[in-house]
């Protein structure tokens, strides 16, 4: 969809009528997910944006697949993945899925502090997988098996076996 980096305001215009988007939050310079719109502060292809300001540039109900793979926001010790659940719910189409996968020690995801399945249900999500090894989820082979996981900046490769996933589906 994008051949270069665009700002959030440019993306808002470009994505205005989009449907069934695949969005990769924290994709780095370029997304490794086929056909995904990359959203990252370091994007060279995709939307160059800091998601701590929200995802206003993505239309309501336009996203079929949202992914955050080993996300990290430097210097944001008081924010973590569950802080964007309301935005994820807003941009997902009914039945759209949000996959969060990270190492157990990821300071942004904070697996141990993530909302419970009951809390997520009350937020409007069906829980597909909860704290399941990424390599054991149904979508791993088709969607994530070709992704090279690493720490921010591409250093220190991470074995996909060490990634824990939470997959949420927006209720119909």
- Averages of pLDDT over runs of 10 residues in the chain (172 residues) are 94 96 93 94 94 90 93 62 85 96 77 85 95 90 85 72 92 94
Per the confidence metrics, is the pTM higher than 0.85?
yes
Q: Which domains does the chain have, with CATH numbers?
A: 5-170 (3.40.50)
Residue 78 pLDDT: 55
Edge-to-edge strand ranges of the sheet holding 37-40: 5-6, 46-48, 37-40, 21-25, 63-69, 92-103, 163-170, 125-133
Residue 76 pLDDT: 57
Residue 125 pLDDT: 97
Cross-strand bridge partners of residue 129: 167
């Amino acid at each position: 969809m994008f051949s270069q980096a665009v700002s959030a305001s440019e993306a808002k215009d470009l994505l205005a009528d989009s449907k069934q988007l695949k969005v990769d939050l924290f994709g780095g310079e370029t997304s490794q997910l086929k056909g995904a719109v990359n959203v990252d502060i370091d994007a060279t292809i995709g939307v160059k944006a800091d998601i701590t300001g929200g995802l206003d540039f993505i239309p309501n109900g336009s996203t079929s697949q949202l992914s955050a793979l080993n996300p990290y926001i430097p210097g944001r010790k008081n924010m973590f993945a569950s802080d964007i659940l309301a935005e994820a719910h807003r941009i997902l189409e009914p039945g759209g899925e949000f996959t969060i996968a990270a190492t157990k020690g990821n300071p942004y995801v904070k697996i141990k502090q993530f909302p419970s399945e009951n809390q997520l249900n009350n937020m409007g999500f069906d829980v597909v997988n909860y704290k399941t090894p990424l390599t054991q989820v149904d979508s791993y082979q088709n969607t994530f098996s070709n992704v090279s996981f690493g720490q921010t900046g591409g250093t220190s490769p991470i074995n996909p076996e060490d990634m824990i996933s939470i997959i949420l589906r927006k209720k119909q």
